């Protein structure tokens, strides 16, 4: 394990006072933001700061990348893809490089990332801190499974090059560790061959939750699998879905005639850097997004899809990143912002899963977007979210009546059966509930005490959840 010692600060860095929030646009706090563009600057700040957290593209929904009254490192200046080894299938990049940048650079070598989230704007460090997952977790696991090494600035030991061989505990605690084990400055990832910039999609439309669970519970033979649910439908229609399962289109496969012109135009990887088709204005009135209008939209969306279709060719970028076509889409929810609540319930607990759906309907939660997936085997560190089972992510208006009480009930249901919520989406969980959901939390706190004995790495999330260090 290579080490650069942490020394006393050599220079002062200009800090600007800013009010920060997550992608959900709630829980705003005032922080001192320091822009950095090299590891030495990060070490300087760690040596002088009492409380600091790193921040990238601000795509975590809650309060993980802000630090009220403390300092926040703006890592977006460290955004270079450093090298690609096409023969070994490896890529090395800085913390602020985005998924889009990585995929575009890899595509030039006939490669791509094995796991991507639902937006291309997430940074590499954010992907590591959240141990992101995609539509293929049941087959390929989460991001942690494809990370080779991490270059990490720690308060206790300075700059470390960390691998599973050099420090297994620190390596895996960092994957999903919400930025609390140190400041990531670079990482090396495994890439895979890019078969084609297209996927072949199979679509099934279900009529209600019972059928949705039956279809999603079948043995999965596809690489990618996801369902969009209508949780505003009434009665037996609640939980009707459009289930999408897909595989990469093999290299050289003929495309349907309707797609031929787009294919010839080279939609990938150029589409990864293309601006959104439209952008939601800053003062968008959230009242326009009402349960009634969304209910109508959901019904139209459900009817617009076929009962059953096989082998539909779709371009890779819009398939993986459908929401990126609309810039700043989080503004749709207005001043009250949005809450995305995501939980996973382990296999064998389907009865509790159905109780969660019933609770959502009974409490009349205005769920505007619901995405349902299957997870594969658990892998990674003590705060890594995915486990084998069912995961549901729902978007809700942040100012919805009775929201906090209803989500508290969901917390209890999820925790009671061994499930957990995703910290990257969270801005409201209680510390005692966290401990019930993440049974390996004590090992994470012991690791934190080793690499950060003074509790320098702190965020609003870590204070709220009493995640080690000082409060």
* d(C-alpha 351, C-alpha 360), whole Å: 14
Answer yes or no: are the C-beta atoms of 423 and 64 closer than 8 Å. Answer: yes
How far apart CA 153 and CA 40 sit, in angstroms, is: 9
Of 163, 113, 168, 119, the C-alpha closest to 142 is 113
Q: No. of H helices and E strands in the chain?
A: 14, 22
pLDDT at 54: 98
If DSSP codes are grouped into helix, strand and coil, which group holds residue 361?
A: helix
Residuewise pLDDT in 10s, the chain (471 residues): 444 444 444 445 678 999 999 999 998 999 999 999 999 999 999 999 999 999 999 999 999 999 999 999 999 999 999 999 999 999 999 999 999 999 999 999 999 999 999 999 999 999 999 999 999 999 999 999 999 999 999 999 999 999 999 999 999 999 999 999 999 999 999 999 998 899 999 999 999 999 999 999 998 899 999 999 999 998 999 999 999 999 998 887 776 554 444 443 346 777 777 788 788 888 887 767 778 888 888 899 999 999 999 999 999 988 999 889 889 999 989 888 999 999 999 999 999 999 999 999 899 899 989 999 999 999 989 999 999 999 999 999 999 999 999 999 999 999 999 999 999 999 999 999 999 999 999 999 999 999 999 999 999 999 999 997 554
Exposure string over 411-426, b if 16+ CB within 10 A, otherwise e: bebbbebbbbbbbbbb
Do 39 and 95 form a contact (C-beta atoms < 8 A)?
no
Q: Which of 3, 317, 392 is nearest to 170 (CA)?
A: 3
Q: What does the block give as tokens for 275?
A: 């601006």
Q: Are 175 and 144 in contact (CB under 8 A)?
A: yes
Domains of the chain by range and CATH? Answer: 198-254+283-428 (3.40.462.20)
The length of the chain is: 471
Please report where in the chains the tokens 């450093």 appear, as a residue. 82
- Give, for 129, the enclosing helix (H) or strand (E): helix 124-130
């Amino acid at each position: 394990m290579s080490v650069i010692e942490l020394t006393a600060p050599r220079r002062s860095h200009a800090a600007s006072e800013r009010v920060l929030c997550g992608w959900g646009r709630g829980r705003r706090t005032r922080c001192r933001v320091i822009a950095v563009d090299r590891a030495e600057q990060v070490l300087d700040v760690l040596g002088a700061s009492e409380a600091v957290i790193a921040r990238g593209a601000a795509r975590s929904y809650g309060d993980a990348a802000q630090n009220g009254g403390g300092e926040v490192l703006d890592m977006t200046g460290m955004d270079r893809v450093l090298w690609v080894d096409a023969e070994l299938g490896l890529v090395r990049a800085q913390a602020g490089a985005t998924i889009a940048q990585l995929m575009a650079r890899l595509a030039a070598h006939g490669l791509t990332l094995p796991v991507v989230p639902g937006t291309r704007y997430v940074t590499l460090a954010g992907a590591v801190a959240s141990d992101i997952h995609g539509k293929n977790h049941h087959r390929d696991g989460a991001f942690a499974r494809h990370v080779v090494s991490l270059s990490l600035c720690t308060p206790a030991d300075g700059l470390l090059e960390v691998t599973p061989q050099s420090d297994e505990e620190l390596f895996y605690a960092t994957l999903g560790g919400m930025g609390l084990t140190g400041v990531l400055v670079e990482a090396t990832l495994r890439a895979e061959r890019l078969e084609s910039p297209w996927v072949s999609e199979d679509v099934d439309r279900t009529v209600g939750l019972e059928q949705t669970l039956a279809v999603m519970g079948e043995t999965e033979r596809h690489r990618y699998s996801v369902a969009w649910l209508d949780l505003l439908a009434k009665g037996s229609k609640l939980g009707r879905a459009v289930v999408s399962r897909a595989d990469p289109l093999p290299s050289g496969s003929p495309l349907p005639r309707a797609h031929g012109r787009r294919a010839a135009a080279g939609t990938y990887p150029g589409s990864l850097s293309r601006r959104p088709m439209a952008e939601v204005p800053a003062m968008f009135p959230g009242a326009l997004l009402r349960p009634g209008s969304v209910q109508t939209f959901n019904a139209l969306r459900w009817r617009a899809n076929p009962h059953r279709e096989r082998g539909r060719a779709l371009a890779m970028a819009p398939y993986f990143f459908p929401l990126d076509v609309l810039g700043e889409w989080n503004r749709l929810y207005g001043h009250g912002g949005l809450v995305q609540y995501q939980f996973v319930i382990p296999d064998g607990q389907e009865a509790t899963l159905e109780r969660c759906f019933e609770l959502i309907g009974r409490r009349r939660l205005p769920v505007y977007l619901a995405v349902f997936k299957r997870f594969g085997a658990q892998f990674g560190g003590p705060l890594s979210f995915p486990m084998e089972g069912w995961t549901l992510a729902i978007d809700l208006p942040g100012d919805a009546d009775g929201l906090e009480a209803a989500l508290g009930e969901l917390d209890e249901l999820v925790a009671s059966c061994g499930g957990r919520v995703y910290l990257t989406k969270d801005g409201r969980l209680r510390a005692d509930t966290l401990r019930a959901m993440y049974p390996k939390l004590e090992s994470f706190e012991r690791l934190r005490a080793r690499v950060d004995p003074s509790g320098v790495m702190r965020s609003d999330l870590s204070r709220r959840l009493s995640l080690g260090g000082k409060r």
